[in-house]
Amino acid sequence: MTHIKTCKVKILNKSYDIKCPEGEEANLLLAAEKIDEHMQRNKNKFRTLDNFHNLLLAALDIGHELILCKTEQEQQRQKVTQFITSLENKINKTVGGEADNLPHTD
């Protein structure tokens, strides 16, 4: 059974009590900080932006960051997979070549 905790987060100088699973409090606080950071930046950049549009813009910015991170992670995964495949091929080639040089006992 998951225990639910209540955390107090602050976004745009306003406090909110948010429920989250026990053990996820730190992640919730980091997410709230990220949202607050984006909303503060938007508020300073676009003085006439209302809270709804500010939140929408922050969500789009954070979503875009997530997509970029996932794309970069996938590219890194592909590079690692290619590197491992290359190493396997070299090992197999080396081991296979050495097997040819071993004396045959028939």
Q: How many CB atoms lie within 10 A of CB 5?
A: 13
At 105 the pLDDT is: 61
Q: What is the pTM of this model?
A: 0.73
Q: How many CB atoms lie within 10 A of CB 71?
A: 10
Dihedral sign from CA coordinates of 94, 97, 103, 106: positive
First to last CA, the chain: 66
Give me the domains of the chain, ranges plus CATH numbers. 4-72 (3.30.160.880)
At 104 the pLDDT is: 56
For the chain, list residues with pLDDT below 50: none
